[in-house]
């Protein structure tokens, strides 16, 4: 396990480094762990965010920042309460901490120095907290030192009231002095435990207040910079870090079978072991980000917006993995022409394509959803993205393990969908939509010809519901980005024609034309998908037949007429694959040259058969 972590050390470094400040003594409870993780992810999002990415989502990004800060405040309050409960702090200490936190917030939120407003808030606060404050002062006055402290507190409160009544002095300074006196009454052990959480709550409350005014026009860049700078200082002061993957996560997700496979690779193929170890660790790190994202369907509106930064962090991590961990150049150190180089090279190329496609999907859908500011569409988008990422990451992990042990892949990922299954789901969903739209468009044109406006409006509304249902479905994310953008354009134009038009009859006519455009798009899309199927199936059958002949040829002994006949049949069967797969033709030529020279015949034949096996797998997946 230590060697695996060492191999991926460059990839599992913390997303946020530990700051130079000394780490404060705070026990890592469940609530504190959740706060640290949410804090770190939000700060990572801010560090990766840039002004040019605001664009049309300026208003929605203000909501994202506001609700993310609110969630951090709630988590900090929960961690604070949990800390008090676990250490069984007495009630007077709890009241004292609440009073200190309230005074800090008051001094920050009323920082303009408007005496009338401050006087009003201070009076309301005293009326609300009168009994707890009296009980606290009585508890503090139990000994001589406490009586002296209470006397100073009473003197400071009188000074504050005098400043508010007469306008002489600085009321905010009086509040801060009062808060400092109260803070000095805390037991030292309690202060060390509570101060970090009080500081977090104070900083976040201040940032939320400063963010209210920019929200009137949508968030602006100086507000983002201020939040980032304040949270980065706080993160450094706390001495926290956010690792991409933790050791206990590796131990839990790398069972003994996988460790045995990695040990075997390390002993027999050290270069392959390094690649596989890095890939598995990175997959687990990304999966931990995705799996901990809560489902958004039943979440509140603030929780939905607060989930957006996590998906932007995931989008950035996908690009990092594609560039650093799964880039095909990492296989350059493998022996040229070896089976492991061919296997891992093909896997890495496929992994990069999958990661970049998922990255573009996240970026495009989040931009579109935040631009529209539709909270229901946001929830559906987040849940669909989560399902898509989980499926694809398990797919890639299964494919990686399956390169070396198909049995282990079936054992560890029995429910992991293949590319074929995903393609079938998409094709079936598109076909069901087409089956509804084709007759519906005929009825709509009939209603339009008869000028039957009520029936036409009803039919168009039903068609709009079908289109919207497909856009919200998980299968919609499986469409390539270019086709998805085109379908979005057509469906958005169709919806705008039906969305409270000023003149009903022309709008219904335009909507009927728009529905015809959508149906034509579906016709062309399904035709493009289905047109490839016969050629793919032909190449699949050809590659399987060539592989079967090659296996028989490899098992044949001596230079017999039967072996010569099999060799000629293998050449004739494999040659057509060169039309769409030049590599098959190149490997076939190498084997033929080896046959003529009588050198490395078995090696070249094995390379050809290995390629045919991988080609069959890819073609089977491409039927989707």
Q: What is the mean pLDDT of residues 275-297?
A: 84
CA-angle at 21, arms to 19 and 24, nearest 5°: 110
Confidence band, pLDDT 50/70/90 cuts, at residue 387: confident
Q: What is the mean pLDDT of residues 588-607?
A: 85
- Give the long-range contacts of residues 458-464, CB within 8 A, separation 24 or more: 460/498, 460/508, 460/511, 460/512, 460/515, 461/498, 463/436, 463/437, 463/515, 464/494, 464/495, 464/498
DSSP secondary structure, 313-334, as one string: HHHHHHHHIIIIIS-GGGGTTS
Q: What is the crossing angle of helices 308-320 and 339-372, to 10°? A: 150
pLDDT confidence of residue 171: 75
DSSP helix/strand/coil, 307: coil
pLDDT confidence of residue 420: 53
Q: Decide if 556 contacts 529 (C-beta within 8 A).
A: no
Q: Which residues, at least 6 apart from 593, have a Cβ–Cβ distance to it below 8 Å? A: 604
pLDDT confidence of residue 8: 56
DSSP secondary structure, 496-547, as one string: HHHSS-SSHHHHHHHHHHHHHHHHHHHHHHHHHHHHHHHHHHHHHHHHHHHH
- Only one residue has tokens 């840039």, namely 50
pLDDT confidence of residue 21: 47
Q: What is the pLDDT of residues 104-118, one digit of tens each?
A: 767 665 554 455 666
Lowest mean pLDDT among 30-39, 74-83, 87-96, 105-114: 105-114
Beta strands in 529-592 (DSSP E): none
Q: What is the mean pLDDT of residues 296-324?
A: 90
Is residue 24 over pLDDT 50? Answer: no
Q: Which residue has the higher pLDDT, 111 or 127?
A: 127
pLDDT confidence of residue 315: 92
Q: What is the mean pLDDT of residues 562-573?
A: 86
- Give the long-range contacts of residues 142-146, CB within 8 A, separation 24 or more: 146/185
pLDDT confidence of residue 25: 45
DSSP secondary structure, 189-212, as one string: HHHHHHHHHHHHHHHHHHHHHHHH
pLDDT confidence of residue 22: 43
> What mean pLDDT, rounded, does the chain reach?
79
Q: What is the mean pLDDT of residues 418-445?
A: 78
What percent of the chain clears pLDDT 70, i.e. is strictly above it?
Answer: 84
- Only one residue has tokens 């509040």, namely 175
Q: What is the mean pLDDT of residues 379-383?
A: 90
Q: Which residue has the higher pLDDT, 270 or 464?
A: 464
DSSP 51: G
Q: Decide if 29 contacts 262 (C-beta within 8 A).
A: no
| Highest mean pLDDT: which range of 39-48, 271-280, 351-360 | 39-48
Q: What is the crossing angle of helices 270-291 and 339-372, to 10°? A: 20
| Highest mean pLDDT: which range of 266-280, 299-313, 391-405 | 299-313
Q: What CA–CA distances, in Å, run from 132 to 93, 98, 190? A: 11, 10, 19
3-state SS, 343-358, equals: HHHHHHHHHHHHHHHH
Q: Which residue has the higher pLDDT, 573 or 245?
A: 573
């Amino acid at each position: 396990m230590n060697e695996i972590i060492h191999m991926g050390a460059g990839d599992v470094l913390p997303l946020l480094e530990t700051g130079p400040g000394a780490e404060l003594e705070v026990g890592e409870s469940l609530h504190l762990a959740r706060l640290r993780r949410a804090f770190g992810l939000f700060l990572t999002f801010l560090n990766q965010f840039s002004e040019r990415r605001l664009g049309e989502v300026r208003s929605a990004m203000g909501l994202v920042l506001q609700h993310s800060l609110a969630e951090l405040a709630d988590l900090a309050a929960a961690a604070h309460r949990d800390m008090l409960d676990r250490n069984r702090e007495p009630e007077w200490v709890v009241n004292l901490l609440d009073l200190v936190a309230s005074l800090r917030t008051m001094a920050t939120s009323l920082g303009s120095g408007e005496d009338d407003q401050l006087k009003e808030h201070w009076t309301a606060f005293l009326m609300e907290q009168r009994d707890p404050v009296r009980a606290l002062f009585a508890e503090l006055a139990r000994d001589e030192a406490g009586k002296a402290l209470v006397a100073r507190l009473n003197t400071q409160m009188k000074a504050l009231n005098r400043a508010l009544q007469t306008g002489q002095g600085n009321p905010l300074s009086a509040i801060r002095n009062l808060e400092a006196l109260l803070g000095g009454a805390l037991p030292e052990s309690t202060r060390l435990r509570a101060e970090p959480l009080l500081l977090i709550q104070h900083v976040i409350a201040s940032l939320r207040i400063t963010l209210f005014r920019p929200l009137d026009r949508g968030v602006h860049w100086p507000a983002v910079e201020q939040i980032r700078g304040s949270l980065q200082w706080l993160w450094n002061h706390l001495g926290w870090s956010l690792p991409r993957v933790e050791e206990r996560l590796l131990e839990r997700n790398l069972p003994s079978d996988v460790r045995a496979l990695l040990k075997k690779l390390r002993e027999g193929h050290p270069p392959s072991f390094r690649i596989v170890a890095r890939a598995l660790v990175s997959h687990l790190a990304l999966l931990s980000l995705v799996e901990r994202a809560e489902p958004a369907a039943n979440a509140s509106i603030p929780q939905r917006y607060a989930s957006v930064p996590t998906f932007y962090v995931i989008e950035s991590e996908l690009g990092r993995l594609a560039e650093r961990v799964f880039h095909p150049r990492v296989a350059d150190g493998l022996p040229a022409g070896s089976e492991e180089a061919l296997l891992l090279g093909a896997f890495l190329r496929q992994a990069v394509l999958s990661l970049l496609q998922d990255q573009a999907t996240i970026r495009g859908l989040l931009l579109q959803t935040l631009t529209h500011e539709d909270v229901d569409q946001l929830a559906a988008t987040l849940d669909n993205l989560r399902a898509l990422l989980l499926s694809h990451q398990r797919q890639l992990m299964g494919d990686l393990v399956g390169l070396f042990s198909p049995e282990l892949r079936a054992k560890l990922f029995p429910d992991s969908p293949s590319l074929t299954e995903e393609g079938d789901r998409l094709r079936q969903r598109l076909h069901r939509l087409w089956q509804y739209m084709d007759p519906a468009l005929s009825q709509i044109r009939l209603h339009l010809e008869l000028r039957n406006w009520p029936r036409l409006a009803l039919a168009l509304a039903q068609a709009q519901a079908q289109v919207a249902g497909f856009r919200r479905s998980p299968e919609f994310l499986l469409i390539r980005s270019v086709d998805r953008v085109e379908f979005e354009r057509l469906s958005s134009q169709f919806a705008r024609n039906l969305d409270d038009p000023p003149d009903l009859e022309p709008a219904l006519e335009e909507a009927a034309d728009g529905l015809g455009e959508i149906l034509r798009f579906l016709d062309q899309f399904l035709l493009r998908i289905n047109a490839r199927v016969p050629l793919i199936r032909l190449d699949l059958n050809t590659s399987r037949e060539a592989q079967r002949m090659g296996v028989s040829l490899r098992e044949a002994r001596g230079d017999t007429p039967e072996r010569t006949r099999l060799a000629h049949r293998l050449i004739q069967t494999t040659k057509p694959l060169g039309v769409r797969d030049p590599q098959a033709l190149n490997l076939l030529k190498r084997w033929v040259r080896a046959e003529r020279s009588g050198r490395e015949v078995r090696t070249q034949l094995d390379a050809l058969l290995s390629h045919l096996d991988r080609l069959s797998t890819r073609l089977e997946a491409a039927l989707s």
